[in-house]
């Protein structure tokens, strides 16, 4: 599935099963909540925090998909084509950072 197809599929689901989009501010708050849930799982899986009983059955991919879902909702609501935005962002980073990371002694092993 392409990013465009995913945005279209999210939009179709929202308009049928979801009835309508939450407003942009609500979706921004939901996005922060979802990022927090992902961060919590990352801290327990890869960091020093131990798992709480309620965290043990969480799926990392599902948490990432929740973040992506809400981000696509916001993109759809605000008219952002994420395919174009990502391509433009990659080009920006490539131009800006073409030598930066290669010359970073902290990244050399």
CA distance linking residue 61 with residue 38, whole number of Å: 9
Query: Could you tell me what percentage of the chain is helix, strand and coil, using 3-state DSSP and rounding each to the nearest 5?
Result: 70, 0, 30
Nearest to 34 by CA among 7, 6, 58: 58
Residue 70 CB partners (closer than 8 Å, separation 6+): 27, 30, 31, 34
Maximum C-alpha span of the chain: 52
CA distance linking residue 47 with residue 55, whole number of Å: 14
Domain 3-80 CATH assignment equals 3.40.50.150 = no
What confidence score (pLDDT) does residue 98 get? 81
In this prediction the pTM is 0.88
CA distance linking residue 50 with residue 35, whole number of Å: 19
Q: Where are the domains of the chain?
A: 3-80
What confidence score (pLDDT) does residue 70 get? 98
pLDDT tens for the 109 residues of the chain, in order: 999 999 999 999 999 999 999 999 999 999 999 999 999 999 999 999 888 888 778 999 999 999 999 999 999 999 999 999 999 999 999 999 888 888 888 888 7
């Amino acid at each position: 599935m392409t990013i465009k197809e995913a945005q279209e599929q999210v939009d179709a689901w929202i308009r049928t099963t979801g009835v309508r989009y939450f407003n942009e501010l609500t979706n921004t708050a939901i996005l922060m909540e979802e990022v927090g849930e992902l961060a919590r799982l990352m801290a327990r899986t890869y960091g020093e925090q131990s798992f709480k009983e309620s965290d043990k059955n969480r799926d990392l991919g599902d948490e990432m998909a929740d973040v992506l879902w809400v981000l696509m909702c916001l993109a759809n609501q605000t008219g952002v084509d994420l395919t174009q935005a990502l391509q433009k962002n990659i080009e920006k980073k490539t131009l800006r950072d073409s030598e930066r990371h290669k010359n970073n002694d902290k990244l050399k092993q």
